[in-house]
């Protein structure tokens, strides 16, 4: 079966970039990305392509190359489903905030709504692809909904999890380490797998397209994120030991990373990992393990989250302790709010939790992030529900100039590793700060020796005993 029409439900950080790359690479396929969120769709259609709602290096160019040709963004969900032979479900699957599994299980209500909508609208056979990250065996539920519509349409369900990382999404999509497709071992299942593999095959080498059964595919996605997050928590756990012993975590990471069995990637100590995926997916795995009575398995993985929460909290606590045990009414400048560089995404960013802890101590936070708006910062803080919106507004103020954010500050904290922070005129920042001028580098971004020469009291993560 040759695919000529694709629909993707969900125009977010995954649906948008993924479909833009498919459309660019497959000019013969009409790709329609639909979403209920009218504002988001309007932004994807903005005449100025720089205003698309997801910031990713290179994405605007990819969108510009295909939009209006074979890439369309629309709120007409029914129409796009009806037309398509292959439908990606790429909606959000957040952690449940209510009922059983609250705070752990994945909330599948948006997935179920999509399945019901596809079932209702479809008049001919379709391939339905789970692009969202889902608990293992979700495809069973999706299939059960689709197979009980009574209108005789045949559905094949595939799992095709996405491994892109934000900030490098375009690069990751253009040259993926692998594309994973899980499907049924029946002739129809294999035909559906082949149809999707042929889409990717237009730019991904064959040997990088891996096919498995549906359950292996679903579980591989959770496992990949759990392993990656575990590496960050492992190096962060060591960073605290380094601070007590005089070892330097950067040196330790380099030394162990040169062992080809360990490898050098994902060993950067930090203020803690953020992003919409790691915590959510591990909690989801913990929940699944618990539901099978596998308590040791659940505890093992939960420790990755416990360590990460500790890392964020101890970063904030160290700021308070170093500033003579009080930050009340002191100005603390935050450089960065996004959960990593090169994205405007702030979901689960460590910055939110560090700010919340410091505001509890009555600090005034002055934020500069090149891609995050003041509304987003306030909405992130409001979401925690620690205090009123007005109180957050008073304590967390955003600036569009890093020098203004740092002016008169008692301390600067680096929360995101944006490249531009290395290029700042740090002498100028120092001259305009309160003295002693502290820098807490939560990303080990700056040259500590140079910072000390300027006169800063500089602390990074995992190097040298704390003063
Ligand atoms: P997102 O919140 O940015 O986007 C999801 C979109 O789906 C939203 O715009 C929402 O309005 C829309 N939506 C929800 N229900 C809908 C419905 N019934 N009909 C139409 N639109 C609907 O989420 P995201 O970051 O793109 O993540 C999507 C999925 O991909 C999640 O399961 C996530 O775990 C997974 N994932 C995310 C990343 C990442 O880096 N963000 C990477 C890999 C996998
Ligand atoms: C992650 C996975 O990498 C990706 O494959 C999956 O599809 C979605 O989840 P993402 O969350 O976008 O991607 O970014 P990632 O680069 O994994 O970083 C996650 C967090 O870990 C960030 O806050 C980052 O700053 C932090 N991190 C990463 C570290 O603190 N140290 C590291 O060495 C690596």
List pLDDT tens digits, range 354-373.
Answer: 999 999 999 999 999 999 99
The dihedral of CA 393, 396, 399, 405: what is its sign? positive
* pLDDT value of residue 6: 98
Residues 171-207 as b or e (16 or more Cβ within 10 Å = b): ebbeebeebbbbbbeeeebeebbebbbebbeeebeee
Reply yes or no on whether the pLDDT at 466 is more than 70: no
- Taking only Cα atoms into account, the Rg of the chain, rounded to an integer number of angstroms, comes to 24
With a 6 Å cutoff on the Cβ, whether 35 touches ligand 2 is: no
5 and 84 Cβ atoms separated by less than 8 Å:
yes
Mutate to test the pocket of ligand 2, among 94, 228, 257 (most ligand atoms within 8 A of CB): 228
DSSP H/E element including 397: strand 396-398
Percent of residues, the chain, with pLDDT higher than 90:
96
CA distance 197 to 184: 14
pLDDT, the chain, mean: 96
Q: How close is the Cα of 408 to the center of ligand 2, in Å?
A: 33
Residue-wise pLDDT for 386-416, tens only, equals 999 999 999 999 999 999 999 999 999 999 9
CA distance 401 to 459: 23
The dihedral of CA 403, 409, 414, 415: what is its sign? negative
Closest CA to ligand 1's atom 11? 37
Ligand closest to 17 (CA) is 1
Ligand closest to 266 (CA) is 2
* pLDDT value of residue 137: 86
Q: How close is the Cα of 261 to the center of ligand 2, in Å?
A: 21
* pLDDT value of residue 206: 97
Reply yes or no on whether the pLDDT at 467 is more than 50: no
Residue-wise pLDDT for 75-130, tens only, equals 999 999 999 999 999 999 999 999 999 999 999 999 999 999 999 999 999 999 99
Q: How close is the Cα of 87 to the center of ligand 1, in Å?
A: 14
CA atoms within 13 A on the CB side of 186: 8
**Residue 178 vs residues 13, 160, 213, 250: alpha-carbon distances, Å:** 19, 11, 16, 29
The complex's ipTM works out to 0.98
* pLDDT value of residue 44: 98
Reply yes or no on whether the pLDDT at 465 is more than 70: no
Residue-wise pLDDT for 153-166, tens only, equals 999 999 999 999 99
Q: Which atom of ligand 2 is nearest to the CA of 166?
A: 12
């Amino acid at each position: 079966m040759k695919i000529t029409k694709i629909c993707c439900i969900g125009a977010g950080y995954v649906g948008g970039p993924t479909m833009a790359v498919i459309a660019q690479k497959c000019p013969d396929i009409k790709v329609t990305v639909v979403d209920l969120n009218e504002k988001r769709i309007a932004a994807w259609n903005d005449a100025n392509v720089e205003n698309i709602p997801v910031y990713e290096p290179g994405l605007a160019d990819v969108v510009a190359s295909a939009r209006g040709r074979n890439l369309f963004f629309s709120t007409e969900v029914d129409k796009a489903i009806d037309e398509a032979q292959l439908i990606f479900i790429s909606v959000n699957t957040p952690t449940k905030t209510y009922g059983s599994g609250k705070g752990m299980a994945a909330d599948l209500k948006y997935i179920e709504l999509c399945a019901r909508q596809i079932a209702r609208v479809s008049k001919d056979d379709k391939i339905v692809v789970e692009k969202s990250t889902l608990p293992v065996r979700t495809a069973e539920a999706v299939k059960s909904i689709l197979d009980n519509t009574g209108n005789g349409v045949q559905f094949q369900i595939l799992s095709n999890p996405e491994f892109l990382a934000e900030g490098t999404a375009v690069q990751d999509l253009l040259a993926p380490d692998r594309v994973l497709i899980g499907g049924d071992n029946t002739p129809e299942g294999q035909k559906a797998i082949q149809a999707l593999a042929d889409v990717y095959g237009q730019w991904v080498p064959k040997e990088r397209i891996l096919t498995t059964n549906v359950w292996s595919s679903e579980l591989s996605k959770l496992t990949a994120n759990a392993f990656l997050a575990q590496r960050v928590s492992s190096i962060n756990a060591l960073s605290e030991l380094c601070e007590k012993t005089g070892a330097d975590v950067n040196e330790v990471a380099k030394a162990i990373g040169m062992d080809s069995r360990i490898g050098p990637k994902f060993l950067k100590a930090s203020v803690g990992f953020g992003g919409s995926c790691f915590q959510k997916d591990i909690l989801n795995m913990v929940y699944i393990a618990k539901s099978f009575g596998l308590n040791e398995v659940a505890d093992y993985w939960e420790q990755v989250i416990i360590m990460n929460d500790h890392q964020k909290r101890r970063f904030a606590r160290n700021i308070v302790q170093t500033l003579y045990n009080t930050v009340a009414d002191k100005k603390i400048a935050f450089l960065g709010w996004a959960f990593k560089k090169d994205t405007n995404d702030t979901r689960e960013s460590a910055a939110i939790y560090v700010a919340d802890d410091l505001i509890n101590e009555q600090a005034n936070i002055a934020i500069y992030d090149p891609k995050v708006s003041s509304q987003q910062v306030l909405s992130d803080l409001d979401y925690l529900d620690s205090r009123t919106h007005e109180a957050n507004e008073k304590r967390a103020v955003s600036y569009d100039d890093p020098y203004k954010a740092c002016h008169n500050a008692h301390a600067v904290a680096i929360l995101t590793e944006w490249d531009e922070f290395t290029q700042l005129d740090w002498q100028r920042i120092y001259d305009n700060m309160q003295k002693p001028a502290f820098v807490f580098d939560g990303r080990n971004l700056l040259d500590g020796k140079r910072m000390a020469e300027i006169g800063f009291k500089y602390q990074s993560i995992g190097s040298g005993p704390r003063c």
